[in-house]
A and B are shown apart, each in its own frame.
Chain A
Amino acid sequence: MLEDRLLLWRFKRGSKDAFRDIYEKYVGDLLTLAANLLGDEICAEDVVQDVFISFVESVGKFRLTGSLKGYLTTCVANRARDYIRRRKRRQSAVISDAEQVVSDERSPVQLVICSEELRKLSHAMTELPYEQREAIVLRLHGEMRFRQIAELQSISIKTAQSRYRYGLDKLRSVLNGEVRK
Chain B
Amino acid sequence: MRPADNTENLIKKLRYKASDEAHDRILDNVMQALDESEKQKAGAAAPNIWRTIMKSPITKIAAVVVIAGVLIGMHFVGLSTATVTFAEVIKPILNAQTAILDTIIGEEGEGPVIHDMVRGSRIRRTLSNMEGIVAIIDLQEGRILQLTHEKKEAAYIDLKDWPSIPNYMERLRNVITGLQEHPEFAVEKLGEQEIAGQRLIGFRATHPKAEITIWADPETALPVRIESTGGQMILITKNLKFDVPMDESLFSMDVPEGYTQQQAELDLHGATEEDFIEGLRIMAEVFGDGNFPESVALEDYLKQAPAIIKKCEELGLSEEEQTELGMKLQNYLLFIRFFKGEGQWHYAGKGVKLGDADTAIFWYRPEGSETYRVIYGDLRVEDVSPENLPK
Contact of B7 among A23, A95, A102, A168 (CB under 8 A): A168
> What would 13 A/B residue contacts be, using CB atoms closer than 8 Å?
A2-B286, A5-B289, A13-B321, A13-B324, A28-B17, A35-B16, A99-B17, A100-B14, A100-B16, A114-B13, A118-B13, A125-B11, A136-B11
Whether A176 contacts B11 in the complex (CB less than 8 A), given A23-B30, A48-B26, A101-B17, comes out as no
Known A-B contacts A45-B22, A171-B11; the reply to A65 vs B17 at CB < 8 A is no
**Beta-carbon contact of A23 and B2 below 8 Å:** no
Interface segment out of the listed A56-64, A77-85, A144-152, A154-162: A56-64
What residues of chain A lie closer than 8 Å to B321, measured between beta carbons? Answer: 10, 13
Q: Is the CB of B30 within 8 A of A52?
A: yes
Whether A31 and B18, one on each chain, are in contact in the complex, defined by CB atoms closer than 8 angstroms, is yes
Please judge, given known A-B contacts A175-B2, A176-B1, whether A53 and B18 are in contact too, CB under 8 Å: no
Could you tell me which residues of chain B, from 340 to 391, have a CB within 8 Å of some CB in chain A?
353-356, 378-379
CB-based contact A140/B290 at 8 Å: no
The yes or no answer to A122 lying at the interface (CB within 8 A) is: yes
Interface residues of A (CB under 8 A from B): 1-3, 5-6, 8-10, 13-14, 16, 19-20, 23, 27-28, 31-32, 34-36, 41, 44-45, 48-49, 52-53, 56-57, 60, 63-66, 95, 99-104, 114, 117-118, 121-122, 125, 136-137, 140-141, 168, 171-172, 175-176, 179
Are A121 and B354 in contact, with the CB atoms below 8 A? no
Interface of A is mostly: helix
A179 touches B2 (CB 8 A): yes
CA distance A140 to B10 in the complex (A): 10
CB < 8 Å A-B pair total: 138
Which of B13, B29, B38, B289 has the most chain A CB atoms closer than 10 A to its own CB? Answer: B13
Q: Mark B16-47, 1 if CB is under 8 A from A, else 0.
A: 11110011011101110110011001000000
Find A53's partner among B11, B17, B25, B30 (CB 8 Å cutoff): B30
Among the listed B4, B37, B354, which residue makes an inter-chain contact with A56, where contact means beta carbons less than 8 Å apart? Answer: B37
Of B11, B26, B324, B355, which is within 8 A of A140 by CB? Answer: B11
